[in-house]
Amino acid sequence: MSLWKSRRTVYYFVLVVVSTVFFTLLYNYGMTAWEGRPQPLYRSLEIVFQTYTTTGYGQDAPWQTPQMNLLVIGMQLAGIGLILTAADVFAVPWLQNALAPSAPTAATDLEDHIVICEYSPRGEAFLSELESRGREYVIVEPDGERATVLHEDEYRVIHGDPESTEALENAGVGRATAVVADAADDINASIVLSAKEVNPDVRIVTFVEDVALDTYHRIAGADEVLSPRQLLGESLARQVPTAVTTVIDDAVELGNDLELVELSIEAGSDLCNRTAEEVRLRKRFGVDVVGVWIDGQFESPMDPTVELDDDVRLLVAGEPERIAALREEATSSVRPFSSQRVLIAGYGEAGSTAADVLAGTNSDVTVIDRQEKAGVDVVGDVREPDVFREADIDDASAVIVTLNDDTTAIFTTLIVSDLNPDVDVIVRANEPESERKLYQAGAAYVQSLATVSGRMLASTIFEDESVLAVDKQIDVVKLPVGRLAGRTLVEADVRSETGIVVLVVVRDGETISEFDPATFEFEPGDEVVIAGTDESVHRFETTFLREE
């Protein structure tokens, strides 16, 4: 029962007691002073309750004086009011609870499905992948209210404790192809033990917040242990434009000496403040522009009139030497390579990993965290501007924000952008929905923990799917052609129907990068490497791979 419902109940009983005492005393006085028929107080109390309950024995009726008749009418109205109030306080909530849909406690009709232990935002991306592929799944959620909400939102969910073998049996772990443990680190280890007890052969994938606990998950029996926070921390650190480490390692190898790269246009470079049409990227550098990120929005194909500036990130494919030439033109000739200052706000797993990566560069790192611990230079609340002033925000070239709360991250980004408009703010978003707001707040680069987690999980669970760019803003994945076999890209209208770009085709182990979209016909067994947003990849899976 909620606090408000508890208070309403207390208020109701107080009202009943106060009104009963009031009317008993007043009625007893009226019978003596107005009617001239004195009686014991308990008789007056009985009359009040007879009136409240509408029993109406009426021993004292009729009353001779107007005052007593008005008093009795008032008591009758008060009684009706208390009855209606009681219905609202007790009967209506009871009926709502009795009639409200609740999450089931078992899923007996599933087979070859995925069991997801506890719902979390980072698992949402994986659920979308399952939905788009038509794969069966069930969520085991220990929180009853959340399980009911998920059930009402048409998720396949059961209410139960994922640490118990009974709940896992109810979820059909004995018939499942995989179990995903997505709770706290210690709970995940317990889930693994319970799942192995129910089905020793089931494949188990766990998430771990603290990479030091990876070993214990494996000892418990986990087949795969994923640490998206660590991977995301490394990715964010590589976005710092002043680090002396090369970013060539960020390229996605596509085969046949072909790679895919996200490329920023730096202020002061030869390409900055020129349109794509004017630069003629294809003719000048021999690369294909897959798409462009502008203020957090991905556009594909790129509008040739788009002006290339430091708010633009290109997604290009081509040979390494040609991309290297483009990268050189996109880099400012006055780029400083002296020691640069980087602030890290938040020293959890992602923040500490980013600090470790930057330790091998020319960057001078200052760490800010609310808790005083080893590795933290400035202790304070990142929502306070003075904390950043203490960390010398004016001299910083980049700020990496890795916080557990997106609202705090947005507010922190606003503060940093206000204190130093020239600083590059690189942010970890916990949920994809926050990415747009973070860009609006002034972030230069945003990566979602939920997106990275979902991609890692999909690549691990699906044997026919290989995610080539887990930590990129764009999804690059190798998939079977499915129902695209026997058709061409133009015939299937893949680009307009799904929004993805087919980069290469893999046939009999050979990579085909040069093919005519209008005449090249896919064969059963072919695979394609595609690039696009997570939503567009899901549309491709729904259109060509969904199980029917």
Q: 1-33, pLDDT tens digit by residue?
A: 455 567 888 888 999 999 999 999 999 999 999
pLDDT of 255 over the 60 cut: yes
> What pLDDT sits at residue 231?
87
> What pLDDT sits at residue 440?
92
Confidence of residue 241 (pLDDT cuts 50, 70, 90): low
Taken in order of first residue, the domains within the chain and their CATH numbers are 3-99 (1.10.287.70), 114-226 (3.40.50.720), 245-330 (3.30.70.1450), 340-450 (3.40.50.720), 474-544 (3.30.70.1450)
Peptide bond into 62 cis (omega under 30): yes
Instruction: Name the residue with higher pLDDT: 136 or 91.
Output: 136
Q: Among residues 434, 447, 441, which one has the least CA distance to residue 418?
A: 441
Q: What's the whole-number mean pLDDT along residues 104-127?
A: 89
pLDDT of 159 over the 90 cut: yes
Q: What's the whole-number mean pLDDT along residues 456-485?
A: 81
**Residue 216 CA to chain centroid, in angstroms?**
26
> What pLDDT sits at residue 39?
92
pLDDT of 123 over the 90 cut: no
Q: What percent of the chain has pLDDT above 90?
A: 45
Instruction: Name the residue with higher pLDDT: 351 or 256.
Output: 351
pLDDT of 312 over the 70 cut: yes
Q: How many CB atoms lie within 10 A of CB 527?
A: 19
Burial of residue 297, with CB atoms counted within 10 A of its CB: 0-12 exposed, 13-18 middle, 19 or more buried: exposed
Please tell me the distance from the alpha carbon of residue 244 to that of residue 246, in angstroms, as a whole number.
6
Predicted confidence (pLDDT) per residue in 20-75, tens digit: 999 999 999 999 999 999 999 999 999 998 888 888 777 888 889 999 999 999 99
According to the per-residue pLDDT averaged within each range, which of 129-133, 162-166, 509-513 is highest?
A: 162-166
First to last CA, the chain: 43
Confidence of residue 248 (pLDDT cuts 50, 70, 90): very low
Q: Among residues 135, 123, 117, which one has the least CA distance to residue 463?
A: 135
| pTM, entire model | 0.69
> What pLDDT sits at residue 100?
66
Confidence of residue 293 (pLDDT cuts 50, 70, 90): confident
Please tell me the distance from the alpha carbon of residue 246 to that of residue 110, in angstroms, as a whole number.
49
Q: Among residues 290, 339, 253, 289, which one has the least CA distance to residue 531?
A: 290
Choice among 386-400, 433-447, 465-479, 523-537 with the minimum mean pLDDT: 465-479
Q: What percent of the chain has pLDDT above 70?
A: 93
Please tell me the distance from the alpha carbon of residue 133 to that of residue 537, in angstroms, as a whole number.
11
> What pLDDT sits at residue 26?
94
> What pLDDT sits at residue 215?
94
User: DSSP characters for 155-193?
Assistant: --EEES-TTSHHHHHHTTGGG-SEEEE-S-HHHHHHHHH
Predicted confidence (pLDDT) per residue in 405-449, tens digit: 999 999 999 999 999 998 999 999 998 889 889 999 999 889 989
pLDDT of 99 over the 80 cut: no
* Average of per-residue pLDDT values in the chain: 87
Q: What's the whole-number mean pLDDT along residues 346-362?
A: 89
Choice among 78-87, 153-162, 411-420 with the minimum mean pLDDT: 78-87
> What pLDDT sits at residue 245?
43
Confidence of residue 249 (pLDDT cuts 50, 70, 90): very low
Residues 310, 267 contacting (CB under 8 angstroms): yes
Instruction: Name the residue with higher pLDDT: 413 or 93.
Output: 413
